């Protein structure tokens, strides 16, 4: 009985916390400040950000014994969603802190160091980030050149990182590097180190700031790494550093729906409001059939993202090892970010000329949502990896028919029967890479529709579930059609030969 009461009290406590957080954000964004104008300049005014951080939003990602709310995934996603309803940039700031610093640090960091760092987050509004990407290697993290060597009770780390969110703004970093052996060669494994910018020998120099296309609130740039950190600042993996990295990145990808949730809801709410109030020839926009289609498309995205959040809450706790969760993590990240950008596209289109303004929520959302399809693994790469993982499982089970396999795979067994006529084809024996991307898009939609069915079984809106089913079905038909088209077109490197139209028309 006491456990039930504890759970009820915690739920009520969080309801109060998130309710107050949303109310305060709304006041800051719409009454006390004009965020539409603020969004036109880079960075956030210090006082504005300070008032947001005063609500301790990052406490959701700090253990209870360190004064936080306890690292409950549902609460983390709730904070991300509340922030992204007002600003995708703000939500990404929180997402970087939560998934790419606080969660891996809480799971793998030194206990004594945790006490100091978490105190800074709670009491002094500190922020943290993760440094993996390098200019020459991008997603090819295993070939990073940043290196380290041990010197007594310290590690010396050298290298360069770029496109880190919060460049020059974060107080703490997790920096990845490869060990340099006695021969001067870099070992294959990767290690993570905590750095504190307030300590001179750990301070990371920013050599250049990028003029990013969107996400103006977040600084990006190039970071020079030439630091020394104590041996206790190295994270301790459960097995290898590569598995630690996969566990961290998969957890982060599974929590992308938190950022997507509030954003998609905002696009839906703005579009619904505009189409209800706007009249064309005396008829409200929302009575036009093509507009109904687009609004239902937004509602399908809302439903799928809701289901993803529910799934992530059940699986992505730091207590779980997610290093092997490539199919679900990659499916969720790629599909939800595609849905985010499509939702912004729809909202811009429905908003007419006003939507094509950087100080309009839809126009800003269009630009801000685009990089989500690129960072933490471009979606084409992730979809391809989903298809490769399923192809490997199919070969192992000696099954060639996609429908037959998806019906017996635990990740898709509930959803696959809903799309039987579409999925009933053999997996290509030697598919091209472009076909693997398409196959990944197909599989990801089936994987994620299973989450819709699971949340529907728990009581989610039946009509919204049906809207999602129809749009997933339509997408699958289009993707299978694309797959069967056998497009083998390749670019001409010297495309301008005999290709000037002015030579083929008379005066």
- Torsional sign, CA 94, 377, 205, 208: negative
For residue 198, the number of C-alpha atoms closer than 13 Å in the C-beta half-sphere is 9
For position 8, what pLDDT does the model report?
Answer: 55
- Torsional sign, CA 69, 337, 331, 382: negative
Angle ∠(483,488,494) on CA atoms, nearest 5 = 145
For position 138, what pLDDT does the model report?
Answer: 81
d(CA 94, CA 436): 33
Strand 191-196, strand 283-284: pairing: unpaired
Is residue 238 packed enough to be buried (19+ CB in 10 Å), middle (13-18) or exposed (0-12)?
exposed
76-80, 134-138, 238-242: the lowest-pLDDT one: 134-138
Split at pLDDT 50, 70, 90, the class of 4 is very low
Among 99, 102, 489, CA closest to 312: 99
Other residues' Cβ atoms within 10 Å of the Cβ of residue 56: 19
- 184 φ/ψ sector (left φ>0, alpha ψ -120 to 50, else beta): left
- pLDDT tens for 181-232 read 989 899 999 999 999 999 999 999 999 999 999 999 999 999 999 999 999 9
pTM for the model: 0.95
pLDDT of residue 273 exceeding 50 = yes
- pLDDT tens for 379-419 read 999 999 999 999 999 999 999 999 999 999 999 999 999 99
- pLDDT tens for 423-481 read 999 999 999 999 999 999 999 999 999 999 999 999 999 999 999 999 999 999 999 99
Read off the pLDDT of each residue in 144-154 and give the average, rounded to a whole number.
Answer: 96
């Amino acid at each position: 009985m006491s456990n039930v009461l504890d759970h009820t009290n915690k739920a009520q406590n969080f309801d109060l916390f998130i309710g107050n957080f949303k109310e305060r954000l709304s006041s800051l964004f719409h009454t006390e400040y004009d965020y539409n104008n603020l969004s036109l300049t880079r960075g956030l005014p210090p006082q504005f950000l300070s008032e947001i951080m005063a609500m301790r939003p990052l406490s959701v990602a700090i253990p209870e014994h360190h004064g936080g709310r306890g690292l409950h995934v549902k609460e983390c996603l709730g904070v991300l969603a509340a922030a992204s309803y007002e600003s995708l940039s703000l939500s990404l700031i929180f997402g970087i802190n939560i998934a790419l610093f606080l969660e891996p640090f809480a799971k793998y960091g030194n206990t004594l160091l945790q006490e100091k760092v978490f105190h800074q987050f709670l009491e002094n509004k500190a922020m943290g980030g993760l440094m993996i990407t390098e200019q020459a290697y991008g997603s090819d993290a295993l070939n990073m050149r940043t290196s380290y060597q041990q010197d007594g009770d310290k590690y010396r780390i050298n290298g360069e990182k770029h496109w880190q969110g919060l460049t020059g703004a974060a107080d703490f970093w997790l920096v990845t590097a490869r060990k340099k052996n006695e021969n001067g060669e870099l070992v294959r494994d990767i290690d993570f180190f905590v750095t504190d910018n307030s300590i001179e020998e750990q301070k990371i120099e920013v050599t250049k700031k990028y003029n990013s296309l969107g996400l103006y609130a977040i600084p990006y740039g190039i970071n020079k790494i030439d630091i020394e950190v104590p041996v206790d600042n190295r994270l301790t993996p459960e097995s290898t550093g590569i598995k630690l990295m996969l566990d961290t990145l998969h957890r982060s990808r599974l929590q992308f729906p938190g950022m997507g949730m509030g954003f998609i809801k905002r696009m839906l709410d703005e579009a619904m409001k505009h189409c209800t109030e706007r009249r064309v020839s005396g008829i409200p926009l929302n009575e036009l059939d093509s507009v109904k289609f687009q609004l239902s498309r937004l509602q399908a995205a809302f439903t799928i993202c809701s289901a993803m959040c529910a799934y992530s809450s059940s699986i992505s706790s730091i207590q779980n090892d997610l290093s092997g969760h490539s199919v679900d993590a990659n499916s969720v990240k790629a599909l939800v970010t595609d849905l985010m950008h499509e939702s912004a596209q729809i909202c811009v289109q429905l908003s007419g000329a006003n939507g094509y303004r950087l100080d309009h929520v839809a126009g800003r959302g269009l630009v801000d949502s685009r990089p989500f399809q690129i960072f933490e693994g471009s979606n084409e790469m992730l979809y391809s990896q989903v298809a490769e993982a399923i192809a490997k499982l199919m070969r192992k089970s000696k099954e060639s028919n996609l429908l037959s396999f998806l019906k017996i795979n635990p990740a898709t067994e509930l959803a696959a029967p809903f799309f039987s006529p579409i999925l009933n084809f053999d997996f290509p024996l030697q598919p091209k890479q472009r076909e693997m991307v398409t196959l990944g898009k197909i599989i990801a939609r089936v994987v994620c529709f299973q989450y819709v069915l699971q949340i529907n079984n728990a009581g989610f809106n039946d009509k919204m579930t049906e809207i999602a089913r129809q749009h997933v079905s339509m997408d699958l038909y289009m993707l299978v059609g694309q797959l069967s088209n056998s497009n083998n077109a390749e670019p001409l490197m010297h495309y301008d030969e005999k290709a000037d139209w002015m030579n083929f028309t008379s005066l």
